[in-house]
């Protein structure tokens, strides 16, 4: 078949489908209204699905008691009331789910930016985990500092502080980047305004919660406070927790730790959490207790 013949056939099919386009701006397809032309090609951009507040998203069609269910959604960002298309999820919730899953993976496997640590004036040390794979498969090594880290902390940190604060990536580097810029200064300022001596803050790479016990023994701090990235979920990958303990020692029971969790923009705001943590530490020093022994 000649190329011209093939072209004519295609044009005829498009014309019959009312999708033909005129060769130039002044020429129209036979019998076709100006408005029936092929629309302009979009630039490829779509709304950012990560910007959707799922507390405001209610996609159930023809619901019973929809207003009551919507009100319940305002108390927690849960993936409820998102509707379905037959047996499947609708497109928007599915894209949001995939985006959240990707963000969670990035939070776990990416490292905290070194430039960010420099900006926050945090020197970095590392646990006995040599890489992320070892960190994920050997939690025990994430609870112990390597030899260089021990020497660096002894060299750079203030000796015998009342409170020692450090930051760790934990299971979410994104949590560090999203919260520490407001959270850490909030704690420091809150403690200093009450005349409480604070040690030299620093960053621990590949850290588990338990490494705070070794750091407590090295610095001989009365109170140790670990700001660590939480395991990311499909609601947020930026949540952080503060683990605080009075006179922490290696091998102590987990019940001696006090925890402030869900620190992120959709939970407890970092600035608010900073003031709250500073107040908890003040009470902890007064009562000389932490964990289940501390009555707040």
In a domain, 272, yes or no: yes
In a domain, 43, yes or no: no
In a domain, 12, yes or no: yes
In a domain, 42, yes or no: no
Contact, 278 vs 183, CB < 8 A? no
CATH classification at residue 169: 3.40.50.11240
More confident residue, 3 or 191: 191
Domain that holds residue 20: 3-36
49 vs 72: CA distance, rounded Å: 22
In a domain, 44, yes or no: no
In a domain, 87, yes or no: yes
Q: Are residues 134 and 278 in the same domain?
A: yes
Give me the pLDDT at residue 58, please: 84
Give me the pLDDT at residue 122, please: 97
Looking at 89, 109, 129, which one is the last position of a domain? 109
Average pLDDT value for residue range 208-215:
98
CA triplet 280, 286, 289: central angle to 5 degrees? 70
Given a cut of 70, whether residue 243 has pLDDT beyond it is yes
State the pLDDT confidence band at 168, using cuts at 50, 70 and 90: very high
State the pLDDT confidence band at 151, using cuts at 50, 70 and 90: very high
In a domain, 127, yes or no: yes
2 vs 4: CA distance, rounded Å: 5
State the pLDDT confidence band at 22, using cuts at 50, 70 and 90: very low
Q: What is the pTM of this model?
A: 0.78
Given a cut of 50, whether residue 10 has pLDDT beyond it is yes
Given a cut of 60, whether residue 249 has pLDDT beyond it is yes
Q: Are residues 27 and 85 in the same domain?
A: no
Token couple for 40: 């302009």
Q: Are residues 204 and 179 in the same domain?
A: yes
Looking at 65, 83, 109, which one is the last position of a domain? 109
In a domain, 41, yes or no: no
Q: Are residues 130 and 231 in the same domain?
A: yes
Q: Are residues 88 and 170 in the same domain?
A: no
Given a cut of 60, whether residue 266 has pLDDT beyond it is yes
For 270-287, write each residue's pLDDT tens digit: 999 999 999 999 999 999
Q: Are residues 133 and 173 in the same domain?
A: yes
Q: How many domains does the chain have?
A: 3
Q: Are residues 65 and 183 in the same domain?
A: no
Looking at 65, 84, 109, which one is the last position of a domain? 109
Token couple for 165: 């604060």
CATH classification at residue 71: 1.10.30.40
Average pLDDT value for residue range 6-35:
58
Q: Are residues 202 and 57 in the same domain?
A: no
Q: Are residues 126 and 228 in the same domain?
A: yes
Q: Are residues 92 and 233 in the same domain?
A: no
Q: Are residues 68 and 184 in the same domain?
A: no
Q: Are residues 181 and 127 in the same domain?
A: yes
Average pLDDT value for residue range 257-281:
95
């Amino acid at each position: 078949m000649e190329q011209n013949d093939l072209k004519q056939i295609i044009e005829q099919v498009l014309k019959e489908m009312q999708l033909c386009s005129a060769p130039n701006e002044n020429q129209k397809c036979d019998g076709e209204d100006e408005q029936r032309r092929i629309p302009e090609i979009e630039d490829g951009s779509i709304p950012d699905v990560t910007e959707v507040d799922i507390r405001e998203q209610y996609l159930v069609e023809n619901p019973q008691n929809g207003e009551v269910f919507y009100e319940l959604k305002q108390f927690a960002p849960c993936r409820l009331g998102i509707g379905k298309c037959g047996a499947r999820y609708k497109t928007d919730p599915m894209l949001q789910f995939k985006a959240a899953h990707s963000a969670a993976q990035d939070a776990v496997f990416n490292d905290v930016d070194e430039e960010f640590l420099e900006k926050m004036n945090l020197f970095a040390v590392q646990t006995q985990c040599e890489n992320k794979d070892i960190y994920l498969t050997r939690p025990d090594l994430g609870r112990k500092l390597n030899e260089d880290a021990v020497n660096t902390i002894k060299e750079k940190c203030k000796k015998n502080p009342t409170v020692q604060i450090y930051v760790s990536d934990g299971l979410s580097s994104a949590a560090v980047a999203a919260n520490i810029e407001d959270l850490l200064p909030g704690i420091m300022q809150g403690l200093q305004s009450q005349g409480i001596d604070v040690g030299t803050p620093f960053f621990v790479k590949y850290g588990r919660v338990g490494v705070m016990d070794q750091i407590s023994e090295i610095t001989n701090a009365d109170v140790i406070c670990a700001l660590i990235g939480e395991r990311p979920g499909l609601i947020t990958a930026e949540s952080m927790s503060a683990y605080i303990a009075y006179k922490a020692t290696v091998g102590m029971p987990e019940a001696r730790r006090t925890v402030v969790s869900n620190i992120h923009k959709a939970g407890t705001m970092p600035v608010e959490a900073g003031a709250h943590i500073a107040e908890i530490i003040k009470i902890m020093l007064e009562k000389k207790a932490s964990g289940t022994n501390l009555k707040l």
